[in-house]
Chain A
Amino acid sequence: MSRTVTRRRFIKTVAGVSVAVPAAVVAARLADRYGLLPPDHDGLFGLGTSLTYASQRLLTHGQPLAREFGRQQISRNFPAINTVMPEDGDYRADIAGGFQNWRLSIDGLVAHPTDLSLDDLRRFPSRTQITQHICEQGWSAIAEWKGVPLSVVLTAAGIQPQAKYVFFTCIDGWWDSLDMADVLHPQTLLTYGMNGSNLPIPHGAPVRLRVERQLGYKHLKYLSTITVTDSAAEWGKGKGSEGAENGYSWYAGI
């Protein structure tokens, strides 16, 4: 009897594997076709982040807004971590000049590549939102942010239809990218104001990113360039962000 059971189990196992493996391959192909595969999908940890990314992208398909709060909930102490003062010499000069010489370059798959000044950004229609900044370390803080939706600026520059990612580089050398769902989300801002003032230096002056559906490390500070692209392959190791090359998943929706 044990022989029969063993054979039956063996057949079941073979049948299970022969269904599961092609099913996984087909699922991965489908996920890739519908833009549900993150650039850092390789390896065992890539499986976890791919499942999270694909399921959250399907759930957030309707682009619902992140929660917004009342003024009374604004945090008195908003921690500033990582770079709080870029070493770059030009940056020091920019501070002295009130960021009059600072430019945000927009290039890649756009109809009109351009360099925008802080005043140019302020001339776009603005959005103000009181949202929570959630750090992967565990702390969180609430602030009021003012800026121009990234989608407004990129639409003005003319996003080409094959665009898949938007890459950002920063004055402190950091780089990262977002998919088009987050790029076009109405709460994703090029942020120049915080709690009613200009964005303070420790929080990324003159302009930082707000990506309300992701954790704090995606909200890049000290923005320098924006590049629209159809592939993550040419940036670093192709994992989509400097954080991903240091073991932090590219997608930080959880």
Chain B
Amino acid sequence: MIVQHGSNDRTLPRHTVLVRVTHWINTVSFLALMISAVAILLAHPRLYWGESGGYGSPALIELPLPLNLDQSGWGRNLHFLGAWVCVVNGIVYVISGIVSRHFKKALVFESRQVWDSDLPPYTSLQRWSYVCVIFVLFPLMIATGLAMSPAISTVFPIFVQLFGGQQSSRTVHFFAAVALILFVIAHVVMVYRNGFRTRMRAMIYGNSAAKETVQ
């Protein structure tokens, strides 16, 4: 897995250090967010549309989940710690991706020269799903998350108004999270089916798998 630069012997890793580090920080923070999200959701597994909603008012969806009121303390702490890590890490990733033209090369144009010869470039479905995750779903999670904050909504009421209210924001947050989890499942399945060891090495060591292939 080496990008050959013409006759030059210099090799470049398939994934840069920054992409690899942010990928694994994102993995850990996403897991923390997912686990804590379930803990929080179980405190009130009903979804509403509009401004307010609770027991005694009609639900949009009653999720078939057990009620558990004892988990939201650590759940909330873990969720917001995970959110800080995820957002700061995501900002670093997106800025570097724009500066290094990584997004432009890998996601916007089907540019064969950025990839090594063994692997095909991303299919358009893959590219669109990455674009959707990075530029639609994650920003949507952040915006709906901020919309639910009673302090943030005093400064930026636009967030909560944009989604049609406190409970609509929560419901959109839920469905965007479900979409992200489906993406993660598909992502892991794809990695597994296309050579789990090789791809894990590529994301951990960058070019170490290449040595094995080339040597």
Binding site for B on A (CB under 8 A): 44-45, 47-49, 51-52, 56, 59-60, 64-67, 69, 73, 75-77, 79, 132, 134-142, 212-215, 246-249, 253-254
- From B77, B145, B150, A253 is in contact (CB under 8 Å) with B150
Cβ contacts under 8 Å, B152 to chain A: 56, 59, 253-254
| CB pair B84 A52 closer than 8 Å | yes
Within B122-159, the residues touching A (CB, 8 Å) are 145, 148-155, 157
B95-137 to A contact mask, C-beta < 8 Å, 1/0: 0000000000000000000000000000000000000000000
**In the assembly, what is the distance between CA of A246 and CA of B73, in Å?**
8
Given A77-B54, A79-B55, A248-B73: A134 touches B78 (CB 8 Å cut-off): no
**In the assembly, what is the distance between CA of A69 and CA of B56, in Å?**
20
User: Which among A73, A79, A138 has the greatest number of chain B C-beta atoms within 10 A?
Assistant: A138
Within B47-84, the residues touching A (CB, 8 Å) are 51-57, 69, 72-74, 76-78, 80-84
Interface of A is mostly: loop
Say how far B198's CB is from chain A's closest CB, in angstroms.
20
Closest to B160 in A: A67
| CB pair A77 B56 closer than 8 Å | yes
**In the assembly, what is the distance between CA of A37 and CA of B147, in Å?**
24
Q: List 5 A-B contacts (CB under 8 A).
A: A67-B153, A75-B57, A249-B77, A253-B150, A254-B150
Count residues of B near A (Cβ-Cβ below 8 Å).
Answer: 38
- From B51, B56, B76, A136 is in contact (CB under 8 Å) with B76
Closest to A12 in B: B17
**In the assembly, what is the distance between CA of A151 and CA of B83, in Å?**
33
**In the assembly, what is the distance between CA of A111 and CA of B112, in Å?**
75
| CB pair B77 A66 closer than 8 Å | no
| CB pair A44 B148 closer than 8 Å | no
Given A137-B43, A247-B73, A247-B74: A76 touches B154 (CB 8 Å cut-off): no
Cβ contacts under 8 Å, B73 to chain A: 246-248
Given A134-B148, A136-B43: A64 touches B84 (CB 8 Å cut-off): no
Which 10 A-B residue pairs are closest in the complex by CB-CB distance? Answer: A77-B56, A139-B54, A253-B151, A48-B81, A138-B44, A247-B73, A45-B77, A254-B149, A137-B43, A137-B44
With A136-B72, A139-B54, A213-B150 given, name 4 new contacts (CB 8 A). A59-B155, A77-B55, A253-B151, A254-B80
| CB pair A52 B80 closer than 8 Å | yes
- From A48, A66, A142, A249, B153 is in contact (CB under 8 Å) with A66
| CB pair B43 A140 closer than 8 Å | no
| CB pair A214 B150 closer than 8 Å | yes
Cβ contacts under 8 Å, B149 to chain A: 56, 253-254
